[in-house]
């Protein structure tokens, strides 16, 4: 790929990289595009790219312990838009990385996810997460997974659109508690709570039931 040299230093005489420049390059690589880095360091993009190779900096898709949002959504068995809603409304932790040429993507740290999940148990269905995939697992994960599995068994029948609409109406318009709604629907209280949380996410994301 040819790199445009306009608006960058084009002096043909080689300028040796300083220790300070190398440290700066290492600190911002992966957070900005090559073109942006070149502007910051006042160097030619091709020179920056060559320096990255010589320094053997990790390529833009290699970040130990971080998982991209597509892979993470498959592990959690949720739609990627669900994670985007969590980012917007639930302070879901993520890191945004920039590829070599301008494109950016989201990466998720496993440890930060578990800390977040412990605070947001109402929106995560732990029964869908297979054990020993997101390591290290917290001690409470297996307990929550078994609880969610029991709720699934008790409330095995799928929620209908009519039930979803009724849950929404009873909670937001009639201000009924989860307990009273669960009694009306003859479903476990925990199941109703999680269903309402997922309905919020679906409506925020514009996903049809």
Residue 117 CB partners (closer than 8 Å, separation 6+):
124, 126
Greater pLDDT, 44 or 203: 44
Greater pLDDT, 29 or 109: 109
Angle between helices 34-41 and 19-28 (to 10 degrees): 150
Model pLDDT for residues 86-112, shown as the tens digit of each residue: 898 889 999 887 665 666 778 898 899
Model pLDDT for residues 139-184, shown as the tens digit of each residue: 999 999 988 887 766 545 667 788 888 899 999 988 999 889 888 8
Asked if the model's pLDDT at residue 20 lies above 80, the reply is yes
Top CATH class, 66-140: mainly alpha
Rg (CA), the chain: 24
What pLDDT shows up at residue 143? 92
**Band (1; pLDDT cuts 50, 70, 90):** very low
CA 14 – CA 64 distance, rounded (Å):
34
Asked if the model's pLDDT at residue 76 lies above 60, the reply is yes
Q: Is 137 helix (H, G, I), strand (E, B) or coil?
A: coil
CA 18 – CA 25 distance, rounded (Å):
11
**Band (58; pLDDT cuts 50, 70, 90):** low
Domain ranges of the chain: 19-55, 66-140, 161-205
CA 179 – CA 170 distance, rounded (Å):
11
For residue 103, what are the CA distances in angstroms to 21, 38, 97?
A: 24, 16, 9
What pLDDT shows up at residue 2? 42
Residue 66 CB partners (closer than 8 Å, separation 6+):
95, 107, 108, 109
CA 78 – CA 125 distance, rounded (Å):
9
13 cis-preceded (ω within 30 degrees of 0): no
């Amino acid at each position: 790929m040819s790199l445009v040299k306009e608006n960058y230093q084009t002096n043909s005489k080689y300028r040796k990289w300083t220790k300070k420049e190398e440290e700066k390059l290492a600190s911002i690589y992966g957070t900005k595009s090559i073109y942006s880095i070149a502007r910051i360091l006042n160097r030619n993009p091709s020179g920056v790219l060559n320096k990255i190779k010589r320094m053997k900096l990790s390529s833009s898709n290699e970040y130990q312990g971080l998982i991209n949002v597509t892979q993470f959504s498959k592990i959690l068995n949720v739609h990627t838009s669900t994670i985007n809603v969590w980012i917007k409304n639930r302070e879901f932790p993520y890191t945004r990385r920039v590829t070599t040429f301008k494109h950016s993507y989201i990466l998720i740290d496993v440890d930060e996810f578990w800390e977040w999940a412990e605070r947001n148990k109402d929106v995560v269905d732990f029964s869908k997460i297979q054990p020993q995939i997101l390591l290290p697992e917290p001690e409470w994960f297996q307990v929550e997974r078994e609880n969610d599995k029991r709720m699934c068994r008790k409330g095995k029948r799928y929620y209908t659109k009519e039930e979803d609409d009724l849950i929404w109406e009873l909670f937001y318009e009639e201000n009924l508690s989860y307990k009273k709604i669960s009694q009306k629907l003859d479903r476990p209280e925990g199941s109703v709570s999680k269903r309402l949380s997922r309905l919020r996410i679906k409506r925020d994301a514009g996903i049809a039931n």
